A and B are shown apart, each in its own frame.
Chain A
Amino acid sequence: MTNTPTGFGRMTRKEDARFVRGRGTYVDDVRLPGTLHAAVLRSPLAHARITAIDTRAAEAHPKVRVVITGAVLADRGLAWMPTLSGDVQAVLATDKVRFQGQEVAFVIADDPYSARDALALVDVDYDPLPPVVDARTALDPDAPVIRDDREGRRDNHIFDWEAGDAAATDRVFAGAAVVVAQDVLYPRVHPAPLETCAVIADHDVVTGKLTVWATTQAPHAHRTLLATITGIPEHRIRVVSPDVGGGFGNKVPIYPAYVCAVAGSMLTGRPVKWTEDRSENLMATTFARDYHMHGEIASTVDGKILALRVRVLADHGAFNGTAQPSKYPAGFFHIVTGSYDLEAAHCSVTGVYTNKAPGGVAYACSFRVAEASFLVERLVDLLALELDVDPAELRMRNLLRPEQFPYTCSTGWEYDSGDYPRALALLLETAGYRELRAEQARRRELGEHLGIGLSFFTEAVGAGPRKHMDIVGLGMADGAELRVHPTGKAVLRISVQSQGQGHETTFAQIVAHELGIGPDDVDVVHGDTDATPFGLGTYGSRSTPVSGAAASMAARKVRERARIVASAMLEVSPDDLEWSPGRWSVRGDPTAGKSITEIAAAAHSDLDLPDGVEGQLDASCVYNPPNLTFPFGAYLCVVEVDPGTGQVVVRRFVAVDDCGVRINPSIVEGQVHGGLADGIGVALMELIAFDPDGNHLGGSFMDYLLPTAVDCPSWELAETVTPSPHHPLGAKGIGECATVGSPAAVVNAVMDALRPFGVRHADMPLTPAAVWRAIQGRPLRGDLAID
């Protein structure tokens, strides 16, 4: 890889120098003098009334400083906190526990081992209650009411939400020649970043300043929420998010232990540190998916797809703690229309409480586009099976055509740009689709089970326009501040937060591209609310679409200021200057010009500037995106299935992605690689299951399986580039595309392999047991550990 381009192109990452030396600074690496260490006591039961908590023995432990219970917090108004979805969540349980692993007490000691020891000394009396484990029984009239903390609450219903035209959709279905229906479960999975969540709260009793070091994808949103929750004035709160070891949505919410750490620091006058262990991460922090979907697809006899009708039961756990734009309780699920030109579509989503951990929008799902994309791509494959048409041919017949963009889908999204047939054609060519089908036919005759699966997805990222999108009332715009120093070196401050995406490199390249200087001459500051402008953070693949645009626009403002400075230096009108990378020159006389470095020096000098033009060379921008961006892609997976054991081996995975203009192609490809591995994991092995008592069955990496290097093939990538018409750089965002698009390709491949056995559908994860049972005609419902 060559370093260093001026602007866009492959370059090695600026952040890697510290990471390969073990010199990253993750929250658990931060050492503050006098730090105390905390551990969380968690509920062993899924649903129980707390009758008594006795902390005396724990408090008598020689190294324990404080034991915080719900009662201690309640005295300070901190026992409950708002979620990101308009609900409230117990910080520490006071009345009942509502899921296994729920926070009950917070023990602060001199060292982490002692804090752990003391957990065993806290005596909690529980009166067990029947749990709601199966979301499909949550609305039964006799179901136990989980949220009896809420005034007047008589059931477990959270919301009903719908999009599209139900009557029009019903009419199309009534007249359709072919209708295919399927129940599809997208089971509960977990983002499981390798760095677990952690916090250090440091409250200075003298200044009143609270500094919170936290694993967060959204430092500014956390600052505002902490101010709301604790009552500490927001200008006295600083949130620092140093290096973050993966997020995938897991580090968007504020977790109860963060609030406990703040309370603990205020009570002890010392910094309080808490680092979660893996079991806590898997059992209590935000899960993903858990969508029970019923989908129907209507078509003509010759395979023209006409309409979609979808009903969803959404399991939100014990508190509605999803993180998404507040107008959209089901996120962007209504992009379930996918990549096809439909006459009508309708989807309805009902959210329910169960005795499970809260969460739901995580794991690179793009606000539930993952669920939507999986469903529509399964339905298209089932339709191809019904019609006995090749699934690639069926998709090609129905994809949106380039001339239809901008395209408004039946549920209301305006897709910005795309050339879908080109991407699918490139995929089929790259994969050698015809040859693969021929090989499959030959192998079937030998009794071997090769499967070929396709998916085509349309993503919706870069949330979003402030008018339509907010998180707890905070509009989803992001800021950027650019300062060019007198020597021409630049510092860019951004509101978004890398968790591995490489912002320090990509954003430097954006400024370099706009100002015509080298990326090494631009440093990027992020992850400290005292040092960066406000913004909503990094999730939903929004960094480049929103904050990247802010950086670009700020740099263009700097460029315009530089033009005025150059005109003063050259004593010509600004209108007589023209821009070439790094330089304003007199039109028609390229030798008469000034470089950005020269202009920066002059901007800080005694040079006379026109009235009203400020000196120096800096600018800021708050970018309010006019629309989402809509990256897309076409994926193909090849698997081999052993019907004797049910074992699935992924032989190949070919991915064509179109995310518009690519700023750093290496980083883009890395994002795709990671998402494809997610798809293998979700499709084949990842699952949080529960037993009938509500016991979590995936509480360690021995039970919650993640793909390893031997489970993944060597990814084969290709690309098309269709710029976004409304993004200043034409970029669309890429972070979650592959996670959204790949599970359907894997599952479709396995179902294709199982076609000789008459298997139409089996739910994820397609573990050997699940595949074997599907072949036997006795599909497994893995999510509940029920036979």
Chain B
Amino acid sequence: MQIAVVVNGEEHVRDVEPRLLLVHFLREDLGLTGTHWGCDTSNCGVCVVHLDGVPVKSCTVLAVMADGREVRTVEGLARGADLDPVQRGFIACHGLQCGFCTPGMLMTARWLLDHDPDPSTEDIRAALSGQLCRCTGYENIVRSVRWAAENGSEAAS
């Protein structure tokens, strides 16, 4: 069936199978491989994108459910050459190692700061508790999000 999805501000019209997962639509049909696929069961969160501004696990959302809606992926986080504060925070605080969970972490962190510009470390841990990281032990991710909260006013956006 035909769907029209605005991804990172650009509209894409595609014919897709009704069963196609959003994560595969983004990766295979649109070539946006920054969003990863990790578990199929909504546990790991490497596939998190924003759907109409809300973080969703795109491995358990059908592409057709995004019809007529807006998707934002990690590729849409920076404004041109200017990184989002959460991206800068992850670099500054060594908030990533292998990088595989990072896009999902960044998208959830962005949503958190959009709704709570000054979260406590407990708030950050709770917000990220639906996402797994096997490398960092989370500490530097929490610090990265705090860094973004403290330096967010310098955001290019």
With A31-B31, A192-B134 in contact, do A20 and B75 touch (Cβ < 8 Å)?
A: no
Which residues of chain B are near A275, meaning CB under 8 Å?
37
Determine which residue in B93, B97, B136 has the highest number of CB atoms from chain A within 10 A of its CB, and name it: B97
Which residues of chain A are near B87, meaning CB under 8 Å?
20-21
Determine which residue in A192, A500, A678, A700 has the highest number of CB atoms from chain B within 10 A of its CB, and name it: A500
Q: How far, in Å, is B85 (CB) from chain A's closest CB?
A: 11
With A20-B90, A700-B41 in contact, do A673 and B136 touch (Cβ < 8 Å)?
A: yes
B6 at interface by CB-CB < 8 Å: no
Count of chain A residues with Cβ under 8 Å from any Cβ of B? 61
Bitwise interface map of B from 44 to 62 toward A, beta carbon under 8 Å scored 1, else 0 = 1010000000000000000
**Bound complex: CA of A26 vs CA of B27, how far in Å?**
12
Please name the residue on chain B nearest to A673 by beta carbon.
B137
**Bound complex: CA of A31 vs CA of B132, how far in Å?**
27
Which residues of chain A are near B11, meaning CB under 8 Å?
none
Q: How far, in Å, is B120 (CB) from chain A's closest CB?
A: 12
Q: How far, in Å, is A687 (CB) from chain B's closest CB?
A: 16
Q: How far, in Å, is A543 (CB) from chain B's closest CB?
A: 13
**Judging by beta carbons under 8 Å apart, are A193 and B43 in contact?**
no
Determine which residue in B20, B27, B33 has the highest number of CB atoms from chain A within 10 A of its CB, and name it: B33
Which residues of chain B are near A669, meaning CB under 8 Å?
94
Please name the residue on chain A nearest to B128 by beta carbon.
A709
Name the one of B17, B41, B75, B90 contacting A701, with C-beta atoms under 8 angstroms: B41
Please name the residue on chain A nearest to B86 by beta carbon.
A20
Which residues of chain B are near A21, meaning CB under 8 Å?
34, 74-75, 77-78, 83, 87
**Bound complex: CA of A710 vs CA of B138, how far in Å?**
9
Which residues of chain A are near B128, meaning CB under 8 Å?
708-709
**Judging by beta carbons under 8 Å apart, are A194 and B38 in contact?**
yes
B1 at interface by CB-CB < 8 Å: no
Interface residues of B in 92-142 (CB under 8 A from A): 92-94, 96-103, 106, 121, 124-126, 128-142
**Bound complex: CA of A193 vs CA of B99, how far in Å?**
11
**Bound complex: CA of A93 vs CA of B91, how far in Å?**
46
Q: What's the dominant secondary structure at chain A's contact region?
A: loop
Please name the residue on chain A nearest to B122 by beta carbon.
A710
**Bound complex: CA of A361 vs CA of B103, how far in Å?**
30
**Bound complex: CA of A669 vs CA of B37, how far in Å?**
28
B66 at interface by CB-CB < 8 Å: no
With A23-B34, A499-B98 in contact, do A12 and B91 touch (Cβ < 8 Å)?
A: yes
Which residues of chain A are near B37, meaning CB under 8 Å?
28, 275
**Judging by beta carbons under 8 Å apart, are A278 and B41 in contact?**
yes
A113 at interface by CB-CB < 8 Å: yes
**Judging by beta carbons under 8 Å apart, are A13 and B98 in contact?**
no
B32 at interface by CB-CB < 8 Å: yes
With A20-B83, A21-B78 in contact, do A674 and B137 touch (Cβ < 8 Å)?
A: yes
Bitwise interface map of A from 574 to 603 toward B, beta carbon under 8 Å scored 1, else 0 = 000000000000000000000000000000
**Judging by beta carbons under 8 Å apart, are B125 and A709 in contact?**
yes
A22 at interface by CB-CB < 8 Å: yes
Which residues of chain B are near A16, meaning CB under 8 Å?
90-91, 96, 99
Bitwise interface map of A from 1 to 35 toward B, beta carbon under 8 Å scored 1, else 0 = 10000000000110111111111111011010000
Please name the residue on chain B nearest to A12 by beta carbon.
B91
**Bound complex: CA of A303 vs CA of B149, how far in Å?**
52
Name the one of B78, B92, B135 contacting A1, with C-beta atoms under 8 angstroms: B92
A137 at interface by CB-CB < 8 Å: no
Name the one of B74, B103, B124, B135 contacting A246, with C-beta atoms under 8 angstroms: B135
**Judging by beta carbons under 8 Å apart, are A500 and B43 in contact?**
no
Interface residues of A in 672-686 (CB under 8 A from B): 672-678
**Bound complex: CA of A676 vs CA of B125, how far in Å?**
17
**Judging by beta carbons under 8 Å apart, are A675 and B98 in contact?**
no
**Judging by beta carbons under 8 Å apart, are A501 and B97 in contact?**
yes
**Judging by beta carbons under 8 Å apart, are A708 and B132 in contact?**
yes
Interface residues of A in 496-517 (CB under 8 A from B): 499-502
Which residues of chain A are near B139, meaning CB under 8 Å?
673, 712, 714-715
**Judging by beta carbons under 8 Å apart, are B43 and A702 in contact?**
yes
**Judging by beta carbons under 8 Å apart, are A700 and B39 in contact?**
yes
**Judging by beta carbons under 8 Å apart, are B91 and A194 in contact?**
no
**Judging by beta carbons under 8 Å apart, are A194 and B97 in contact?**
no
Which residues of chain A are near B137, meaning CB under 8 Å?
672-677, 712, 715
Bitwise interface map of A from 240 to 263 toward B, beta carbon under 8 Å scored 1, else 0 = 000111101000000000000000
Which residues of chain A are near B24, meaning CB under 8 Å?
112
With A15-B99, A670-B94 in contact, do A708 and B32 touch (Cβ < 8 Å)?
A: no
Which residues of chain B are near A20, meaning CB under 8 Å?
74, 83, 87, 90-91, 96, 99, 102, 106
Determine which residue in B24, B38, B40, B100 has the highest number of CB atoms from chain A within 10 A of its CB, and name it: B100
Which residues of chain B are near A672, meaning CB under 8 Å?
137
**Bound complex: CA of A444 vs CA of B140, how far in Å?**
34
Which residues of chain B are near A12, meaning CB under 8 Å?
91-92, 94
**Bound complex: CA of A510 vs CA of B114, how far in Å?**
40
**Bound complex: CA of A708 vs CA of B138, how far in Å?**
8
**Bound complex: CA of A766 vs CA of B96, how far in Å?**
29
Bitwise interface map of B from 63 to 91 toward A, beta carbon under 8 Å scored 1, else 0 = 00000000001110110000100010011
A569 at interface by CB-CB < 8 Å: no
**Judging by beta carbons under 8 Å apart, are A195 and B100 in contact?**
yes
Which residues of chain A are near B43, meaning CB under 8 Å?
700-702
**Bound complex: CA of A246 vs CA of B125, how far in Å?**
22
**Bound complex: CA of A15 vs CA of B44, how far in Å?**
23
Please name the residue on chain B nearest to A19 by beta carbon.
B99
**Bound complex: CA of A279 vs CA of B44, how far in Å?**
13
**Judging by beta carbons under 8 Å apart, are B100 and A245 in contact?**
yes
**Bound complex: CA of A25 vs CA of B36, how far in Å?**
11
**Judging by beta carbons under 8 Å apart, are B94 and A22 in contact?**
no
Determine which residue in B46, B75, B133, B135 has the highest number of CB atoms from chain A within 10 A of its CB, and name it: B135
Which residues of chain B are near A675, meaning CB under 8 Å?
137
**Bound complex: CA of A700 vs CA of B101, how far in Å?**
17
Which residues of chain B are near A673, meaning CB under 8 Å?
136-140
**Judging by beta carbons under 8 Å apart, are A701 and B132 in contact?**
yes
**Bound complex: CA of A782 vs CA of B81, how far in Å?**
52
Interface residues of B in 6-39 (CB under 8 A from A): 17, 19-20, 24, 27, 31-39
Bitwise interface map of A from 702 to 718 toward B, beta carbon under 8 Å scored 1, else 0 = 10001011101011000
Name the one of A25, A193, A700 contacting B134, with C-beta atoms under 8 angstroms: A193
With A12-B94, A17-B91, A22-B103 in contact, do A670 and B136 touch (Cβ < 8 Å)?
A: yes
Please name the residue on chain B nearest to A22 by beta carbon.
B34
With A22-B34, A677-B138 in contact, do A708 and B129 touch (Cβ < 8 Å)?
A: yes
A277 at interface by CB-CB < 8 Å: yes
A749 at interface by CB-CB < 8 Å: no
With A194-B44, A194-B46, A702-B43 in contact, do A709 and B38 touch (Cβ < 8 Å)?
A: no
A551 at interface by CB-CB < 8 Å: no
Which residues of chain B are near A667, meaning CB under 8 Å?
94
Q: How far, in Å, is B95 (CB) from chain A's closest CB?
A: 9
**Judging by beta carbons under 8 Å apart, are B97 and A674 in contact?**
yes
Q: How far, in Å, is B56 (CB) from chain A's closest CB?
A: 17
Which residues of chain B are near A720, meaning CB under 8 Å?
none
Name the one of A1, A29, A674 contacting B33, with C-beta atoms under 8 angstroms: A29
21 contacts between A and B (CB under 8 A): A15-B99, A20-B83, A21-B75, A21-B83, A22-B33, A25-B33, A29-B27, A113-B17, A193-B100, A195-B38, A195-B100, A248-B134, A278-B44, A279-B40, A673-B137, A709-B125, A709-B126, A709-B129, A709-B131, A710-B125, A715-B137
The 10 closest A-B pairs by CB, nearest first: A22-B34, A500-B98, A245-B100, A19-B99, A673-B137, A500-B97, A701-B43, A677-B137, A22-B74, A29-B33
- Sample of 14 more A-B contacts, CB < 8 Å, known A113-B20, A709-B128: A12-B92, A22-B77, A194-B44, A243-B98, A246-B100, A278-B40, A500-B99, A676-B137, A678-B134, A701-B44, A702-B41, A708-B132, A709-B131, A712-B139
Interface residues of A (CB under 8 A from B): 1, 12-13, 15-26, 28-29, 31, 112-113, 191-196, 243-246, 248, 275, 277-279, 499-502, 666-667, 669-678, 700-702, 706, 708-710, 712, 714-715
